[in-house]
Amino acid sequence: MREFVHETRPMRVVFRPGASVSAVPDEAHRLGLRRLLVVCGPRGEATARAVADSLGDACAGLHAEARMHVPVEVADRAVEVARAAGADGCVAVGGGSAIGLGKAVALRTGLPLIAVPSTYSGSEMTPVWGLTDQGVKRTGRDPSVLPRSVVYDPDLTLSMPVGLSVTSGINAVAHAAEALYAPDASPLISLTAEEGARAMTHALPGLAADPADPDARGRALYGAWLCGAALGATTMGLHHKLCHVLGGTFGMPHAETHTVVLPYALAFNAPAAPEAMAALARALGTEDPALALWNLSARLGAPRSLAELGLTEPDLTVAAGQTAGQAYPNPREITVDGVLELLKAAYEGRAPRSS
């Protein structure tokens, strides 16, 4: 058995229908917070308003300016608002963009963060922050951005469109996949990742067939929690670095980009990560996880090519150079030619083949 180190970070998780309104004030009180700034994106403002109202006098304001990939100027503005309001805490309500903005506020101010996710992004379970400045997305890890409490409310996800639900869910599976072959994985994290991938991929077909099914929504949110927790405890590899380049440099949509790239990243890494591929195969009930995820995307109507998402052919060379030029762990050696071949397959949307 290989050596490992496992570190558990403190976090409280509340999981129940209706918790976004009923539990957030309790979590704020438990943390001793009396002036909380609520942050969200424009599309999630109605939900965030309900959370803000539930806080009563403890709400210091609602800031609905979160944007994808957290542009640094958006983060700067949110920090100014938090300081002007005299906030002693922050509540982030929404998907990865809102959670990311809340993390940026926590990173810059040290304010404790409560996360109320409404998608399956998993960001709420990680100490990873990201900021985009002049077309370059930087990421880092800092314990100060890890939420003190995470409130999971399956009811919040009932209105999420099927398309976003599917891509957000496969994005979560990407977290589990990379955790399985991360150099700092532990036996507990590997079990968590495998169960997270199993729960999510089994929930998505039922969710797509009946978006109002609370059981399917709850199982998907459970899977997102586990996948996010696995990512939060490990180091990201090729898949996430490539998606960060595509998102930060070319403005590609986050969940959709993860959905398209994942099968190809898995096929690329498969020869160098047999144990991880075996765990994914068990979770998905298949012999070829990369092809199974590609087929799942097709069955559920998700995009399957980078061309569909607006990337152009000349962008591929730029993205390959940027991705290969970064230092990060990955089970298989990263080269410009190797990444470019991966990107060409993803651009065309052809069936992934393990090398």
What's the confidence (pLDDT) of residue 56? 97
Angle at 219 between CA 123 and CA 212, to 5 degrees: 105
pTM of the model: 0.93
Asked if residues 50 and 21 have their Cβ atoms less than 8 Å apart, the reply is yes
pLDDT of residue 6: 79
Q: Using an 8 Å Cβ cutoff, are 176 and 230 in contact?
A: yes
Q: How many CB atoms lie within 10 A of CB 285?
A: 11
**Domains of the chain (ranges, CATH numbers):** 12-157 (3.40.50.1970), 162-348 (1.20.1090.10)
pLDDT at position 294 is: 98
Mark the ranges of the chain whose per-residue pLDDT is less than 50.
Answer: none
pLDDT computed for residue 326 by the predictor: 87
pLDDT at 355: 62
Which residue reads 């990865």 in tokens?
96
Strand partners, 136: 133
